[in-house]
Structure 1
Amino acid sequence: MTEYVETPRGRFGVEFSGDHSGPTLMFVAGLGDDMSSWSTVLDAFADYHCVVYDNRGIGTSPITEGPYRIEQLADDAHAIHRSLDLGPVVAIGSSMGGAICQEWALKHPDDLNGLVLTNTWSEQQVFGDVIFEHWQTLAAKGLATELIDSLLLFCLSAPFLQAHPEAVQEFRRMPVPDLQGFHAAAQACREHETMSRLSGIHQPTLVVGGTYDILTRPELSQRLARQLPNATLEMVDAAHMIFAEAAEPWQQVVRAWLDKQFPGGGNTTK
């Protein structure tokens, strides 16, 4: 059930699951995704206290005038964390959510005792900039159908679609994100860069990449992991929308890493 948390930065929609006595995991979604994007993987973390929320610009959270910046979205995460009076959490971010988690760790390091950065990046790149610009153009013109199809082609792999042709229509039936908020958040993605500052992130970090990901390509995950002082890199055979293609392998990789950080799982108090 969605609850609302009041912060100095606005009113954000939040949901809770798992064991509230366990270590806290705070999930940060990607561009165009609301908190429901985590629904296929949360069951693996039932002995953790799981917190999911909608980023600014989508779902139940404020849809304010853009453009946004990743630093602004990281400040939102910090404000939610503070308003909920959470202790140190493991931040788990996908795509843009992973970018937000990087800035969150740099700006508010005491909030976090670990990070999971999945299908994300840390450097500006021409290829990615053109993609985000194209998506902004479609959003600005109100071309929701064309935007969804473009997202589909960059989020799901050819082998997965060949094996699961029904996934095309399932993807097309997904709710269209607020186009104003999407446009504003896409600008934040275009400007994201932390590569030169990653040495300042000292928390244990798991970087997960997709071998078929053409948006945040494997080499971006590899370079991200190399620059982080305390990182582990794992690759999963999937494209960018890893939770659709390989939810169970992703859960296994993340769960194994978490269990090393918190050997007691849900028996470990926050």
Structure 2
Amino acid sequence: MRKGLSQLSKMSLLHLKTGSVCPPTTPGLLRCYNMKYCPYAQRTLLVLHAKNIKHEVVNINLMEKPEWFFEKNPLAKVPTLELDGKLMYESLVTCDYLDEVYPEPPLYPRDPWQKGRERCLIELFGKVISSMYKTYRAYAKEDKEEMAETFNEVVNGLAPFEAELKIRGTKFFGGNTPGMLDYILWPFGERFPVVEISARKMLPQTELPLLKSWMQNMKEDRAVKAVYIPPEIHKMYLEDSLSGKPGYDKNYSALLASKV
């Protein structure tokens, strides 16, 4: 079930919506239901690429969800995995499944205590995610005071992760190469520049030097490169989303080029 990276994914370019027909599945081929700008779905895509798992991607319009998608997942959320009629959803559940069924390369520590520690850190990172979304909402309201306050929440929430990198003394949380904790955190790390733009402040180099280096190192990872979206495009999508009109299929790259 493994092939070269160039053969890994068949991408459904458009986000399927209400009234669409579900594309037929291929026996033995893993499918990931995705939304291009969803950080949670990106977690699962990162693991798929990190493990060179042959798969296809079907994008879903989350504002006008296809009727058939509710039959696949009663929550109608992404990511959802499908294989030969079997279905699984939620980002952490799908990532754990992939790490168990496709053991190479292993992404979690083999030691149960260390694996549990990774899961604790993933839970703790939820505070950072919450603060990021509060910053976005403050940005939408143009509330400068709230933007500054929520940005400081993000910085404070990142402190334990800066400390963890210092304790580990490694390039990534996973060691010399990214592990599961890196891939679970990265989609939000990819969006940190959007938080900086929203709050009109930079993550402090003096307080978070190891995390700043981690972000640069992650951008060089093969799996990250496969699904990376530049912060300028994330910002354009965010602004459309906050206005209630997310541009799932909008050509943000062309719009960005026209502004240069």
- Relative contact order: is structure 1 or structure 2 higher (C-alpha 8 Å, sep ≥ 6)? 1
**Which protein is richer in helix relative to its size?**
2
**Which protein is richer in strand relative to its size?**
1
Q: Name the TM-score, length of structure 2 as normaliser.
A: 0.32
